[in-house]
């Protein structure tokens, strides 16, 4: 995994407030998870806006998945926005990144949506602990896939102080992408039918700053 060597700092970038960061993170998710699908080769089954039927039902949505709303309203209290914000950002432990490095929060959230929060959290702990964790194993995921805590973020903050915010961010994004790509390749080996998703999966992993309005490193407000 790359290790940044030279301190760098952002220049000429507009700072991003947490609420604005959430909006951009959601936009990044929807850029990859757009609309209703029911691919028989996809283990997730019926999906709309990237939310599987099982997740929607667990959140209280009882309607047809084709009609699952992207945005909430008085008549639609359960929607994709709500699920992603509460389950994939707040409960996963990514809220802290909205104030210290939203670009990291965006990549973690995108990984969590596609692979599950536990996998994204295991990747994070592998990076900050400088350990090779076997995140495909249930026993490893049981311990290292739990929601992130302040203790899991402290090593990253130390890295920011040591090498600079931008260098720390870019190196960490590269490491997350490497782990994400390796996991996709493992999923294809384990289930050859997944090869149809390979190009899309690898392109997703390669996007260090996902979304139509990518969040650059070093803009935490």
Please tell me the pTM assigned to this model: 0.88
Tokens of 199: 């190009």
Question: CA 31, CA 106: separation in Å to the nearest integer?
Answer: 12
DSSP codes of every residue in 17-78: -HHHHHHHHHHHHHHHS-SEE--TT-TT-SEETTEEHHHHHHTT--S-GGG--SS-BTTB-S
**Average pLDDT in the chain:** 91
Distance, CA of 206 to CA of 119 (rounded, Å):
17
Query: pLDDT tens digits for 156-215?
Result: 999 999 999 999 999 999 999 999 999 999 999 999 989 999 999 999 999 999 989 999
Q: What is the pLDDT of residues 205-219, one digit of tens each?
A: 999 999 899 999 999
**List of domains in the chain:** 18-206 (1.20.141)
The pLDDT assigned to 33 comes to 86
Residue 13: predicted pLDDT: 60
Supply the pLDDT for residue 100: 95
Q: In degrees to the nearest 10, what's the CA dihedral of 148, 151, 153, 157?
A: 170
Strand order from edge to edge, sheet including 47-48: 36-37, 47-48, 51-52
Q: Does position 4 have pLDDT exceeding 50, yes or no? A: no
Cα–Cα distance measured from residue 30 to residue 45, given in angstroms and rounded to the nearest whole number: 18
| 3-state DSSP assignment of residue 8 | coil
Instruction: Kindly report, residue by residue over 92-101, the tens digit of the pLDDT.
Output: 999 999 999 9
Q: For the chain, what percent of residues have pLDDT higher than 70?
A: 93
């Amino acid at each position: 995994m790359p290790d940044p060597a030279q301190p760098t700092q952002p220049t000429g970038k507009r700072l991003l407030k947490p609420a604005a960061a959430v909006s951009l993170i959601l936009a990044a998710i929807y850029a990859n998870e757009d609309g209703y699908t029911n691919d028989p080769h996809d283990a997730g089954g019926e999906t709309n806006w990237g939310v599987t039927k099982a997740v929607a039902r667990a959140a209280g949505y009882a309607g047809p998945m084709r009609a699952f709303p992207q945005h909430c309203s008085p008549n639609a209290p359960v929607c994709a926005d709500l699920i992603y914000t509460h389950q994939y950002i707040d409960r996963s432990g990514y809220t802290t990144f909205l104030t210290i490095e939203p670009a990291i929060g965006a990549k973690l959230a995108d990984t969590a949506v596609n692979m599950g929060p536990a996998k994204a959290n295991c990747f994070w702990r592998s990076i900050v602990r400088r350990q090779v964790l076997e995140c495909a194993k249930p026993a490893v995921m049981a311990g290292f896939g739990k929601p992130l805590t302040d203790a899991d973020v402290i090593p990253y903050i130390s890295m920011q102080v040591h090498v600079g915010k931008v260098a720390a961010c870019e190196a960490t994004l590269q490491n997350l992408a490497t782990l994400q790509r390796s996991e996709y390749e493992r999923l294809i080996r384990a289930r050859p039918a997944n090869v149809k998703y390979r190009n899309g999966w690898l392109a997703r992993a390669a996007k260090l700053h996902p979304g139509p309005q990518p969040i650059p490193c070093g803009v935490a407000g």
